[in-house]
Amino acid sequence: MTAPCPFCDVTVPWAELERHANSHFELEDEQQKQKQLATDRGLAQQIALAPSSPHSHSNNLVMDDMSCEPSCDDAVRGCGESHIDEKIACLIGLQIRSPFYQVETGLMALLKNCLELEAGNSISILSGYVDHFHSIESEDVGWGCGWRNIQMLSSHLLMRRQEAREVLFGGSGFVPDIASLQRWLEIAWERGFDALGSEHFNRKIYGSRNWIGATECAALFRSFGLRARIVDFGPKELESLCLSVPGSSLGAQVSKINDRGKRKVVQVYGPMDKYILGRHYDAPLAGSRGDENSRYSSMQLGNNLEGRSGDNVLNKCARKNKGSEVLVHWVWNYFSNESLSKSGHHRVAVSEKPPLYFQHDGHSRTVVGVQVKHQQNGTQQFSLFILDPAHRTAALKTSLKENDGWQKLIKRGVHTLKKPQYQLCYIDPGIASEGEMELLKRIDSIFLEF
């Protein structure tokens, strides 16, 4: 007695039908095993050939020059854009999502609740959404603050700007870890963004613990077509030593005449080194005045929160700006420049503006909002709301949930801004056109005098 096989229609004896049918699955399983083995072998080769990263997780997947295969980089070397496109394609598939302490309701929602309960006559403006990324002791404590602030800005852009979500990190929809961000920055440099500034790092940043600043932040975001801008704040006499643009006006090396009359070459690696160099070596560094168009470059103080431009809450002190008040008033105008969503008490407004990358010598943080409090004597007290990568997210959440002690962690008054220079990086709306992308490759800044 015979019967046809249900898979291949071959007629076989009835007693052999079950064994014959099962042989099809065995063959399919064997083929699948071979394919999986080949895939595993390829991944193992990538891991073995990848340069070691001092801060990568043991289970993080890293690459050798972002190659999908060990020979990928050699195969496309010298092929121009196709070489870069190959790297981007590989990085999109192999980048790692950064872990972070997720607050269920969001830190900004908790901060908004606390501000609504604050006593006194005040108005606060907050960025709508920001995840906090803190430095991890075993990975990046002491050097990773710049990368953590980039992650905070990215969390807002991915959540609140659809056009940014489509282009950032290959449309992955998540915030990559530091190692992946370093790879993206290297690709930005290779594509010509901040070409001179990249010389400070010898165009290599992956696996290093080099500090980065707002210039690198701007170059990274610009490489995705985002309109990242830089503003420098400082006294006129320090304009030539401003933190921004380590490469647009300054080469990778600066010569200094030493006591013996010989030239000493000082290597400059980034904005921090440039700042230190300017103070300790008194080198003649050329500053950047900048000519980029921005709505916030020479903005007049106004109170868009109340919808008036004449008798606003800031006009009384508009002519009395001194020192860091210039910076705080700029931040106020930045967050209040567009229509805002007010709370029921009209004391807290939510802005759709992204947070600000906030840089000074030695550290960087993220500005997520601003407050003006009207004192009984008629004066106004300004404060910034700042998320610091050095603070643990769990500690921030606890202090905000309990409404106890959060001011010491997040709120910073004008009197605390004691550095001689500050720098902000912000991101204008929209995606740059192809022609504009070429202009964005040259990083420049706008200088505002303290």
Report pLDDT digits (tens) over 385-421: 999 999 999 999 999 999 999 999 999 999 999 898 9
pLDDT category at 5 given cuts 50, 70, 90 is confident
Q: Tell me whether residue 184 is exposed, middle or buried, using C-beta atoms within 10 angstroms of its C-beta: 0 to 12, 13 to 18, 19 or more.
A: buried
Better pLDDT: 46 or 208: 208
**Rounded (5°) CA angle 238-241-246:** 155
Residue 301: count other Cβ atoms within 10 Å of its Cβ.
19
Is there a contact between 221 and 240 (Cβ–Cβ < 8 Å)?
no
Q: What are phi and psi of 63, to 5 degrees?
A: -130, 160
Residue 372 token pair: 């003006």
Better pLDDT: 47 or 378: 378
Distance, in Å, from the CA atom of 397 to the CA atom of 132, rounded to the nearest integer, reads: 10
pLDDT category at 359 given cuts 50, 70, 90 is very high
Is there a contact between 115 and 90 (Cβ–Cβ < 8 Å)?
no
Residue burial 218-254, b: 16+ Cβ < 10 Å; e: rest = bbbbbbbbbbbbbbbbbeeebbbbbbbbbbbbbebeb
Beta bridge partners of residue 373, listed in sequence order: 122, 381
pLDDT (0 to 100) of residue 12 = 67
Residue 370 token pair: 């601003």
pLDDT tens digits, residue range 234-280?
888 877 766 443 433 333 333 333 333 333 333 333 334 444 344 33
Residue 18 token pair: 């079950």
pLDDT (0 to 100) of residue 60 = 37
- Give me the mean pLDDT over the 71-81 stretch: 42
pLDDT (0 to 100) of residue 175 = 98
pLDDT tens digits, residue range 184-220?
999 999 999 999 889 999 999 999 999 999 999 999 9
Q: Which positions ≥6 away from 122 have C-beta within 8 Å?
A: 115, 347, 371, 372, 373, 374
**For the whole prediction, is pTM greater than 0.85?**
no
Residue 321, pLDDT > 50, answer no
pLDDT (0 to 100) of residue 375 = 84
- Give me the mean pLDDT over the 28-52 stretch: 51
pLDDT tens digits, residue range 140-180?
999 999 999 999 999 999 999 999 999 999 999 999 999 99
Distance, in Å, from the CA atom of 205 to the CA atom of 51, rounded to the nearest integer, reads: 12
Distance, in Å, from the CA atom of 263 to the CA atom of 282, rounded to the nearest integer, reads: 14
Residue 22, pLDDT > 70, answer no
Distance, in Å, from the CA atom of 98 to the CA atom of 57, rounded to the nearest integer, reads: 10
